[in-house]
Amino acid sequence: MTSVAVIGGGISGLVAAYRLRQRLGPDAVITMVEASGRVGGKLRTTQLAGDGVDVGAEAFIARRPEVPALLAELGLSDQMVAPAGVRPLIWSGDTLHPLPGGTLMGIPAGPESMAGLVDQQTLARIAAEPGVPLDWLPGSDIDVATLVGSRFGEQVVRRSVDPLLGGVYSGLSDSIGVRAALPTLAAALDRGAANLSAAVAQALPEPSPGPVFGGLRDGYGVLLDALTERAAATVLRADASGLSRSLDGTGWWIDPVGRVDGVVLAVPAPSLAALLSEVSPAASAAAAQIPLASSVVVALALAEGTPLPQNSGILVATGEAVRAKAFTLSSRKWPHLAERGGALVRASFGRFGDADIVDAPDTELVAAARADLETVTGLRVDPVDAVVQRWHGGLPQYGPGHLDRVQVIEESIGALPGLAVAGALLHGVGVPACVAAATTAATTVAEQMAR
Protein backbone atom coordinates (compact mmCIF):
# COMPACT_ATOMS: atom_id res chain seq x y z
CA MET A 1 0.00 0.00 0.00
CA THR A 2 1.45 3.36 -1.07
CA SER A 3 2.19 5.75 1.79
CA VAL A 4 3.11 9.44 1.73
CA ALA A 5 3.79 11.98 4.46
CA VAL A 6 2.96 15.65 3.97
CA ILE A 7 4.78 17.76 6.53
CA GLY A 8 2.92 21.00 7.17
CA GLY A 9 -0.82 21.61 7.11
CA GLY A 10 -0.99 25.07 5.58
CA ILE A 11 -2.51 25.78 2.18
CA SER A 12 0.57 24.27 0.52
CA GLY A 13 0.34 21.05 2.52
CA LEU A 14 -3.41 20.75 1.99
CA VAL A 15 -3.12 21.23 -1.77
CA ALA A 16 -0.25 18.74 -1.91
CA ALA A 17 -2.28 16.15 0.02
CA TYR A 18 -5.29 16.73 -2.25
CA ARG A 19 -3.19 16.36 -5.41
CA LEU A 20 -1.56 13.21 -4.03
CA ARG A 21 -4.98 11.73 -3.34
CA GLN A 22 -5.97 12.49 -6.93
CA ARG A 23 -2.83 10.81 -8.29
CA LEU A 24 -2.55 7.86 -5.90
CA GLY A 25 -6.20 6.95 -5.43
CA PRO A 26 -8.38 6.11 -2.42
CA ASP A 27 -6.21 3.30 -1.06
CA ALA A 28 -3.06 5.37 -0.56
CA VAL A 29 -2.16 6.22 3.01
CA ILE A 30 -1.58 9.98 3.22
CA THR A 31 -0.48 11.33 6.59
CA MET A 32 -0.27 15.06 7.29
CA VAL A 33 1.91 16.21 10.17
CA GLU A 34 1.00 19.64 11.54
CA ALA A 35 2.60 21.03 14.68
CA SER A 36 -0.07 23.64 15.45
CA GLY A 37 -3.59 22.96 16.63
CA ARG A 38 -5.21 23.58 13.25
CA VAL A 39 -4.72 23.14 9.52
CA GLY A 40 -4.75 26.11 7.16
CA GLY A 41 -1.48 27.78 8.08
CA LYS A 42 -1.61 31.50 7.40
CA LEU A 43 -5.18 31.28 6.12
CA ARG A 44 -7.87 31.49 8.74
CA THR A 45 -11.54 32.44 8.82
CA THR A 46 -12.88 33.26 12.27
CA GLN A 47 -15.96 34.88 13.80
CA LEU A 48 -16.27 38.64 14.26
CA ALA A 49 -19.57 40.18 15.38
CA GLY A 50 -21.37 37.00 14.38
CA ASP A 51 -19.96 36.68 10.85
CA GLY A 52 -16.96 34.99 9.31
CA VAL A 53 -13.94 37.12 8.50
CA ASP A 54 -10.50 36.26 7.15
CA VAL A 55 -7.70 37.22 9.53
CA GLY A 56 -4.88 35.94 7.33
CA ALA A 57 -4.74 36.44 3.58
CA GLU A 58 -8.04 37.86 2.34
CA ALA A 59 -7.49 37.95 -1.42
CA PHE A 60 -5.66 36.31 -4.29
CA ILE A 61 -4.45 37.46 -7.70
CA ALA A 62 -7.43 36.59 -9.87
CA ARG A 63 -5.48 36.92 -13.12
CA ARG A 64 -3.43 33.87 -12.21
CA PRO A 65 -5.28 30.65 -13.02
CA GLU A 66 -4.44 28.47 -10.04
CA VAL A 67 -7.07 29.49 -7.50
CA PRO A 68 -10.04 29.83 -9.90
CA ALA A 69 -9.17 26.42 -11.36
CA LEU A 70 -8.88 24.85 -7.91
CA LEU A 71 -12.20 26.34 -6.82
CA ALA A 72 -13.83 24.95 -9.97
CA GLU A 73 -12.45 21.46 -9.24
CA LEU A 74 -13.88 21.61 -5.73
CA GLY A 75 -17.28 22.93 -6.82
CA LEU A 76 -16.66 26.29 -5.18
CA SER A 77 -16.67 28.64 -8.17
CA ASP A 78 -19.75 30.38 -6.80
CA GLN A 79 -17.63 31.48 -3.82
CA MET A 80 -15.47 33.78 -5.97
CA VAL A 81 -16.12 37.48 -5.45
CA ALA A 82 -14.49 40.62 -6.85
CA PRO A 83 -13.58 43.81 -5.00
CA ALA A 84 -15.53 47.03 -5.48
CA GLY A 85 -12.85 48.70 -7.58
CA VAL A 86 -12.15 51.57 -5.19
CA ARG A 87 -8.53 52.64 -4.76
CA PRO A 88 -6.35 52.70 -1.63
CA LEU A 89 -4.74 55.74 -0.02
CA ILE A 90 -1.30 56.36 1.47
CA TRP A 91 -0.78 58.02 4.85
CA SER A 92 2.38 60.11 4.62
CA GLY A 93 3.39 63.37 6.24
CA ASP A 94 0.32 63.29 8.50
CA THR A 95 -2.09 63.39 5.58
CA LEU A 96 -3.79 61.08 3.10
CA HIS A 97 -2.67 60.85 -0.53
CA PRO A 98 -4.09 58.87 -3.45
CA LEU A 99 -2.10 55.76 -4.22
CA PRO A 100 0.11 56.68 -7.20
CA GLY A 101 -0.98 55.10 -10.46
CA GLY A 102 1.25 53.77 -13.20
CA THR A 103 3.95 52.48 -10.87
CA LEU A 104 5.59 49.08 -10.49
CA MET A 105 5.10 48.22 -6.83
CA GLY A 106 5.37 51.92 -6.06
CA ILE A 107 8.36 52.57 -8.34
CA PRO A 108 7.53 55.35 -10.83
CA ALA A 109 8.39 55.57 -14.51
CA GLY A 110 8.31 59.38 -14.29
CA PRO A 111 7.62 62.22 -11.85
CA GLU A 112 3.93 62.72 -12.67
CA SER A 113 2.67 59.83 -10.53
CA MET A 114 4.61 61.07 -7.48
CA ALA A 115 3.24 64.63 -7.51
CA GLY A 116 1.86 65.53 -4.10
CA LEU A 117 3.43 62.53 -2.38
CA VAL A 118 7.08 63.66 -2.51
CA ASP A 119 8.68 67.10 -2.44
CA GLN A 120 9.75 69.20 -5.41
CA GLN A 121 13.39 68.27 -5.07
CA THR A 122 12.50 64.59 -5.35
CA LEU A 123 10.24 65.24 -8.34
CA ALA A 124 13.11 67.03 -10.06
CA ARG A 125 15.41 64.10 -9.28
CA ILE A 126 12.94 61.61 -10.82
CA ALA A 127 12.62 63.79 -13.91
CA ALA A 128 16.41 63.99 -14.28
CA GLU A 129 17.04 60.27 -13.65
CA PRO A 130 17.09 59.23 -17.34
CA GLY A 131 20.16 61.41 -17.82
CA VAL A 132 22.13 59.72 -15.02
CA PRO A 133 24.25 56.73 -16.17
CA LEU A 134 22.99 53.40 -14.82
CA ASP A 135 25.49 50.79 -13.69
CA TRP A 136 23.72 47.42 -13.73
CA LEU A 137 25.42 44.05 -14.14
CA PRO A 138 23.07 41.57 -15.85
CA GLY A 139 22.22 38.73 -13.50
CA SER A 140 23.07 40.75 -10.39
CA ASP A 141 20.71 41.40 -7.49
CA ILE A 142 20.41 44.11 -4.84
CA ASP A 143 17.73 45.18 -2.42
CA VAL A 144 14.93 47.34 -3.78
CA ALA A 145 15.69 50.23 -1.42
CA THR A 146 19.26 50.57 -2.66
CA LEU A 147 18.26 50.56 -6.31
CA VAL A 148 15.32 52.95 -6.02
CA GLY A 149 16.92 55.20 -3.43
CA SER A 150 20.08 55.68 -5.48
CA ARG A 151 18.05 56.73 -8.52
CA PHE A 152 14.94 58.49 -7.16
CA GLY A 153 15.75 59.31 -3.55
CA GLU A 154 14.66 58.21 -0.10
CA GLN A 155 11.18 59.72 -0.22
CA VAL A 156 10.13 57.47 -3.09
CA VAL A 157 11.39 54.46 -1.16
CA ARG A 158 9.68 55.25 2.15
CA ARG A 159 6.49 56.89 0.92
CA SER A 160 5.67 54.81 -2.14
CA VAL A 161 7.63 51.57 -2.37
CA ASP A 162 7.75 50.49 1.29
CA PRO A 163 3.96 50.66 1.81
CA LEU A 164 3.30 48.39 -1.17
CA LEU A 165 6.08 45.89 -0.53
CA GLY A 166 5.12 45.82 3.14
CA GLY A 167 1.64 44.71 2.20
CA VAL A 168 3.02 41.73 0.28
CA TYR A 169 6.00 40.62 2.38
CA SER A 170 5.54 42.30 5.79
CA GLY A 171 8.98 43.75 5.18
CA LEU A 172 10.72 46.86 3.98
CA SER A 173 12.30 47.38 0.60
CA ASP A 174 15.64 47.06 2.41
CA SER A 175 14.93 43.35 3.03
CA ILE A 176 13.53 42.53 -0.42
CA GLY A 177 15.62 41.77 -3.50
CA VAL A 178 14.85 43.10 -6.95
CA ARG A 179 15.20 39.80 -8.80
CA ALA A 180 12.73 37.72 -6.75
CA ALA A 181 10.16 40.40 -5.95
CA LEU A 182 10.23 42.34 -9.23
CA PRO A 183 11.28 39.84 -11.91
CA THR A 184 10.01 41.92 -14.84
CA LEU A 185 12.07 44.88 -13.64
CA ALA A 186 15.18 42.71 -13.28
CA ALA A 187 14.59 41.36 -16.78
CA ALA A 188 14.30 44.87 -18.22
CA LEU A 189 17.54 45.89 -16.50
CA ASP A 190 19.26 42.73 -17.76
CA ARG A 191 18.17 43.56 -21.31
CA GLY A 192 20.03 46.84 -21.07
CA ALA A 193 17.47 49.46 -20.08
CA ALA A 194 19.31 52.77 -20.11
CA ASN A 195 17.89 53.93 -16.79
CA LEU A 196 15.45 52.93 -14.04
CA SER A 197 12.62 55.01 -15.49
CA ALA A 198 12.89 53.14 -18.78
CA ALA A 199 13.17 49.78 -17.03
CA VAL A 200 9.98 50.45 -15.04
CA ALA A 201 8.14 51.52 -18.18
CA GLN A 202 9.18 48.27 -19.88
CA ALA A 203 8.28 46.15 -16.85
CA LEU A 204 4.78 47.53 -16.27
CA PRO A 205 2.15 44.89 -17.09
CA GLU A 206 -0.11 45.35 -20.07
CA PRO A 207 -3.63 46.45 -19.11
CA SER A 208 -6.04 43.53 -19.07
CA PRO A 209 -9.78 43.24 -18.44
CA GLY A 210 -11.30 42.03 -15.23
CA PRO A 211 -10.40 42.57 -11.58
CA VAL A 212 -6.82 42.06 -10.45
CA PHE A 213 -7.84 40.44 -7.16
CA GLY A 214 -10.46 37.98 -6.04
CA GLY A 215 -11.75 36.70 -2.73
CA LEU A 216 -14.07 34.08 -1.26
CA ARG A 217 -17.57 35.05 -0.18
CA ASP A 218 -17.50 32.96 2.97
CA GLY A 219 -13.76 33.24 3.57
CA TYR A 220 -10.82 30.95 2.96
CA GLY A 221 -12.24 28.52 5.50
CA VAL A 222 -14.52 27.01 2.84
CA LEU A 223 -11.49 26.22 0.66
CA LEU A 224 -9.56 24.73 3.58
CA ASP A 225 -12.53 22.56 4.56
CA ALA A 226 -13.01 21.29 1.00
CA LEU A 227 -9.32 20.44 0.59
CA THR A 228 -9.26 18.67 3.96
CA GLU A 229 -12.28 16.57 3.03
CA ARG A 230 -11.07 15.67 -0.46
CA ALA A 231 -7.50 14.90 0.64
CA ALA A 232 -8.80 12.45 3.26
CA ALA A 233 -5.45 12.49 5.02
CA THR A 234 -4.77 11.36 8.56
CA VAL A 235 -3.68 14.44 10.50
CA LEU A 236 -1.10 14.08 13.27
CA ARG A 237 -0.75 17.03 15.63
CA ALA A 238 2.98 16.82 16.21
CA ASP A 239 6.39 18.15 15.26
CA ALA A 240 8.14 16.28 12.47
CA SER A 241 11.80 15.34 12.85
CA GLY A 242 14.42 12.79 11.94
CA LEU A 243 14.04 12.77 8.15
CA SER A 244 16.26 10.07 6.66
CA ARG A 245 16.32 7.41 3.98
CA SER A 246 14.55 4.20 5.03
CA LEU A 247 16.73 1.21 5.88
CA ASP A 248 15.71 -0.59 2.69
CA GLY A 249 16.77 2.44 0.62
CA THR A 250 13.47 2.62 -1.25
CA GLY A 251 11.61 5.16 0.84
CA TRP A 252 11.89 7.61 3.72
CA TRP A 253 11.69 7.59 7.49
CA ILE A 254 10.30 10.55 9.39
CA ASP A 255 9.06 10.84 12.95
CA PRO A 256 6.28 10.49 14.05
CA VAL A 257 5.00 8.74 10.92
CA GLY A 258 7.68 6.10 10.37
CA ARG A 259 8.49 4.63 6.98
CA VAL A 260 6.77 6.12 3.92
CA ASP A 261 7.29 5.90 0.18
CA GLY A 262 7.35 9.67 -0.36
CA VAL A 263 7.48 12.96 1.52
CA VAL A 264 6.35 16.50 0.69
CA LEU A 265 7.87 19.17 2.90
CA ALA A 266 5.54 22.18 3.11
CA VAL A 267 6.98 23.99 6.10
CA PRO A 268 8.59 27.41 6.78
CA ALA A 269 12.25 27.90 5.99
CA PRO A 270 13.68 27.29 9.51
CA SER A 271 11.75 24.02 9.84
CA LEU A 272 12.84 23.00 6.36
CA ALA A 273 16.46 23.68 7.25
CA ALA A 274 16.17 21.47 10.34
CA LEU A 275 14.47 18.61 8.49
CA LEU A 276 17.02 18.62 5.65
CA SER A 277 20.12 18.91 7.83
CA GLU A 278 21.09 15.24 7.46
CA VAL A 279 19.77 14.30 4.00
CA SER A 280 20.79 17.51 2.17
CA PRO A 281 23.18 19.84 3.99
CA ALA A 282 23.36 22.20 0.99
CA ALA A 283 19.58 22.64 0.82
CA SER A 284 19.43 22.97 4.59
CA ALA A 285 22.01 25.75 4.56
CA ALA A 286 20.17 27.58 1.78
CA ALA A 287 16.84 27.36 3.63
CA ALA A 288 18.47 28.63 6.82
CA GLN A 289 19.41 31.83 4.99
CA ILE A 290 15.76 32.77 4.33
CA PRO A 291 14.54 34.99 7.20
CA LEU A 292 10.92 35.33 8.25
CA ALA A 293 8.79 38.34 9.14
CA SER A 294 6.03 38.30 11.73
CA SER A 295 2.86 40.35 11.72
CA VAL A 296 -0.49 40.87 13.44
CA VAL A 297 -3.97 41.41 12.05
CA VAL A 298 -6.51 43.21 14.24
CA ALA A 299 -10.00 42.91 12.79
CA LEU A 300 -12.46 45.53 14.01
CA ALA A 301 -16.23 45.48 13.63
CA LEU A 302 -17.52 49.05 13.82
CA ALA A 303 -21.00 50.42 14.28
CA GLU A 304 -23.25 50.61 11.25
CA GLY A 305 -23.07 54.00 9.64
CA THR A 306 -19.39 54.60 10.46
CA PRO A 307 -18.39 56.89 7.56
CA LEU A 308 -15.21 55.18 6.44
CA PRO A 309 -13.46 56.71 3.43
CA GLN A 310 -14.67 55.43 0.07
CA ASN A 311 -11.40 53.60 -0.48
CA SER A 312 -10.20 50.02 -0.28
CA GLY A 313 -7.56 50.72 2.34
CA ILE A 314 -4.87 52.97 3.74
CA LEU A 315 -1.18 52.12 3.43
CA VAL A 316 1.22 53.76 5.86
CA ALA A 317 4.55 55.20 4.76
CA THR A 318 7.67 54.24 6.67
CA GLY A 319 8.58 56.57 9.53
CA GLU A 320 5.08 57.78 10.38
CA ALA A 321 4.00 58.17 14.00
CA VAL A 322 1.23 55.56 13.79
CA ARG A 323 2.14 51.99 14.70
CA ALA A 324 -0.03 50.23 12.09
CA LYS A 325 1.49 49.57 8.68
CA ALA A 326 -1.82 49.37 6.82
CA PHE A 327 -5.60 49.30 7.10
CA THR A 328 -7.93 47.32 4.88
CA LEU A 329 -11.33 49.01 4.78
CA SER A 330 -12.93 45.64 4.18
CA SER A 331 -16.55 46.73 4.02
CA ARG A 332 -15.59 49.32 1.38
CA LYS A 333 -13.31 46.98 -0.53
CA TRP A 334 -15.64 43.97 -0.70
CA PRO A 335 -19.32 44.44 -1.67
CA HIS A 336 -20.32 41.12 -0.09
CA LEU A 337 -19.03 42.35 3.27
CA ALA A 338 -20.82 45.68 2.88
CA GLU A 339 -24.07 43.77 2.43
CA ARG A 340 -23.80 42.48 5.99
CA GLY A 341 -24.22 45.97 7.43
CA GLY A 342 -21.87 47.63 9.87
CA ALA A 343 -18.29 48.50 9.00
CA LEU A 344 -15.33 46.15 8.95
CA VAL A 345 -11.65 47.18 9.12
CA ARG A 346 -8.47 45.13 9.32
CA ALA A 347 -5.45 46.82 10.87
CA SER A 348 -2.05 45.26 10.12
CA PHE A 349 1.00 45.59 12.36
CA GLY A 350 4.56 44.37 12.07
CA ARG A 351 7.30 44.59 9.49
CA PHE A 352 10.47 42.53 9.26
CA GLY A 353 12.30 42.91 12.58
CA ASP A 354 9.32 44.30 14.52
CA ALA A 355 9.11 41.84 17.42
CA ASP A 356 7.73 44.17 20.09
CA ILE A 357 4.44 45.01 18.41
CA VAL A 358 3.79 41.41 17.40
CA ASP A 359 4.11 40.22 21.00
CA ALA A 360 2.13 43.08 22.54
CA PRO A 361 -0.99 42.13 24.56
CA ASP A 362 -4.30 41.93 22.73
CA THR A 363 -5.67 44.93 24.60
CA GLU A 364 -2.71 47.06 23.53
CA LEU A 365 -3.04 45.98 19.89
CA VAL A 366 -6.77 46.70 19.77
CA ALA A 367 -6.19 50.10 21.38
CA ALA A 368 -3.40 50.88 18.89
CA ALA A 369 -5.59 49.83 15.96
CA ARG A 370 -8.41 52.05 17.17
CA ALA A 371 -6.17 55.04 17.87
CA ASP A 372 -4.29 54.76 14.57
CA LEU A 373 -7.51 54.39 12.60
CA GLU A 374 -8.87 57.52 14.25
CA THR A 375 -5.63 59.36 13.40
CA VAL A 376 -5.62 58.50 9.70
CA THR A 377 -9.38 58.89 9.11
CA GLY A 378 -10.25 61.65 11.57
CA LEU A 379 -13.23 59.57 12.71
CA ARG A 380 -14.40 58.58 16.15
CA VAL A 381 -14.05 54.78 16.19
CA ASP A 382 -16.11 52.60 18.54
CA PRO A 383 -15.50 48.89 17.88
CA VAL A 384 -18.36 46.56 18.73
CA ASP A 385 -16.08 43.52 18.42
CA ALA A 386 -12.41 42.81 17.76
CA VAL A 387 -10.21 39.82 16.93
CA VAL A 388 -6.41 39.70 17.18
CA GLN A 389 -4.48 37.21 15.05
CA ARG A 390 -0.70 36.92 15.32
CA TRP A 391 1.32 35.43 12.49
CA HIS A 392 4.72 34.52 13.94
CA GLY A 393 7.16 33.91 11.11
CA GLY A 394 4.32 34.34 8.66
CA LEU A 395 6.17 35.50 5.56
CA PRO A 396 9.61 34.71 4.13
CA GLN A 397 11.73 37.64 3.07
CA TYR A 398 12.80 37.43 -0.56
CA GLY A 399 16.12 39.17 -0.06
CA PRO A 400 18.90 39.63 -2.65
CA GLY A 401 20.04 36.23 -3.86
CA HIS A 402 16.76 34.53 -2.92
CA LEU A 403 16.38 32.81 -6.28
CA ASP A 404 19.88 31.40 -5.96
CA ARG A 405 18.96 29.90 -2.59
CA VAL A 406 15.76 28.44 -4.04
CA GLN A 407 17.73 26.93 -6.92
CA VAL A 408 20.06 25.19 -4.46
CA ILE A 409 17.08 23.81 -2.53
CA GLU A 410 15.26 22.56 -5.60
CA GLU A 411 18.30 21.07 -7.32
CA SER A 412 19.48 19.35 -4.14
CA ILE A 413 16.04 17.92 -3.38
CA GLY A 414 15.61 16.94 -7.03
CA ALA A 415 18.44 14.46 -6.59
CA LEU A 416 16.55 12.68 -3.79
CA PRO A 417 13.73 10.54 -5.27
CA GLY A 418 10.41 10.59 -3.48
CA LEU A 419 11.10 13.92 -1.74
CA ALA A 420 9.81 17.37 -2.73
CA VAL A 421 9.42 20.85 -1.25
CA ALA A 422 6.50 23.26 -1.44
CA GLY A 423 5.55 26.52 0.24
CA ALA A 424 5.77 30.28 0.22
CA LEU A 425 9.57 30.24 0.50
CA LEU A 426 9.94 29.18 -3.15
CA HIS A 427 8.37 31.19 -5.96
CA GLY A 428 5.84 33.54 -4.38
CA VAL A 429 4.13 34.22 -1.08
CA GLY A 430 0.60 34.52 -2.45
CA VAL A 431 -1.98 31.74 -2.45
CA PRO A 432 -1.78 31.11 -6.24
CA ALA A 433 1.99 30.62 -6.05
CA CYS A 434 1.59 28.24 -3.10
CA VAL A 435 -1.04 26.23 -4.97
CA ALA A 436 1.26 25.98 -7.99
CA ALA A 437 4.29 24.90 -5.95
CA ALA A 438 2.26 22.32 -4.02
CA THR A 439 0.85 20.86 -7.23
CA THR A 440 4.35 20.54 -8.68
CA ALA A 441 5.67 18.90 -5.52
CA ALA A 442 2.84 16.37 -5.32
CA THR A 443 3.13 15.52 -9.01
CA THR A 444 6.89 15.02 -8.69
CA VAL A 445 6.58 12.68 -5.71
CA ALA A 446 3.75 10.67 -7.25
CA GLU A 447 5.60 10.22 -10.53
CA GLN A 448 8.84 9.22 -8.83
CA MET A 449 7.09 6.65 -6.68
CA ALA A 450 5.46 5.13 -9.77
CA ARG A 451 8.81 4.37 -11.40
pLDDT tens across 94-108, in order? Answer: 999 999 999 999 999
Range of the domain at 233: 3-40+220-290+398-450
**Is residue 276 in a domain?**
yes
Give the list of residues 6+ apart from residue 410 with CB closer than 8 angstroms, or none.
Answer: 421, 426
Do 369 and 280 lie in a common domain?
no
Is pLDDT of 130 > 80?
Answer: yes
Do 285 and 403 lie in a common domain?
yes
What is the pLDDT at residue 328? Answer: 98
Looking at residue 416, which CATH number applies to its domain?
A: 3.50.50.60
- What backbone torsions phi and psi does residue 44 show, to the nearest 5 degrees? -155, 130
What is the pLDDT at residue 353? Answer: 82
Do 298 and 383 lie in a common domain?
yes
**Is residue 214 in a domain?**
no
**Is residue 96 in a domain?**
no
Do 407 and 279 lie in a common domain?
yes
- What backbone torsions phi and psi does residue 375 show, to the nearest 5 degrees? -65, -45
> What pTM did the predictor assign?
0.95
Do 417 and 332 lie in a common domain?
no
What is the pLDDT at residue 249? Answer: 85
Helix, strand or coil, per DSSP, at residue 295: strand
DSSP assignment of 328-364, as one string? E-HHHH-HHHHTT-SEEEEEEE--TT-HHHHTS-HHH
pLDDT tens string 292-348: 999 999 999 999 889 999 999 999 999 999 999 999 999 999 999 999 999 999 999
Secondary structure of 202-267 in HEC code, one letter for each residue: HHCCCCCCCCCEEEECCCCHHHHHHHHHHHCCEEEECCCEEEEECCCCCCEEEECCEEECEEEECC
Is pLDDT of 354 > 90?
Answer: no
Do 352 and 403 lie in a common domain?
no
**Is residue 333 in a domain?**
yes
Nearest 5 degrees, angle CA 180-CA 293-CA 440? 50
DSSP letter for 85, please. -
Do 139 and 188 lie in a common domain?
yes
**Is residue 425 in a domain?**
yes
Cβ atoms 5, 254 nearer than 8 A: yes
Is pLDDT of 355 > 80?
Answer: no
What is the pLDDT at residue 37? Answer: 84
What is the pLDDT at residue 174? Answer: 94
Query: Facing residues of 346 across strands?
Result: 299, 328
Do 319 and 371 lie in a common domain?
yes
What is the pLDDT at residue 206? Answer: 86
**Is residue 278 in a domain?**
yes
**Is residue 57 in a domain?**
no
Region 244-261: what's the mean pLDDT? 95
Burial state string for 12-40 with b = 16 or more CB within 10 A and e = fewer than 16: bbbbbbbbbbebbeeebebbbbbeeeebb
Report how far residue 88's alpha carbon sits from residue 16's, in angstroms, rounded to the nearest whole number.
35
Do 390 and 402 lie in a common domain?
no
Region 163-186: what's the mean pLDDT? 94
What is the pLDDT at residue 133? Answer: 93
What region does 168 belong to: left with phi over 0, alpha with psi -120 to 50, or beta? Answer: alpha
In the chain, the amino acid numbered 160 is S
Cβ atoms 166, 172 nearer than 8 A: yes
Closest CA to 18 of 223, 222, 241, 215: 223
Cβ atoms 361, 352 nearer than 8 A: no
pLDDT mean across residues, the chain: 96
Do 341 and 381 lie in a common domain?
yes
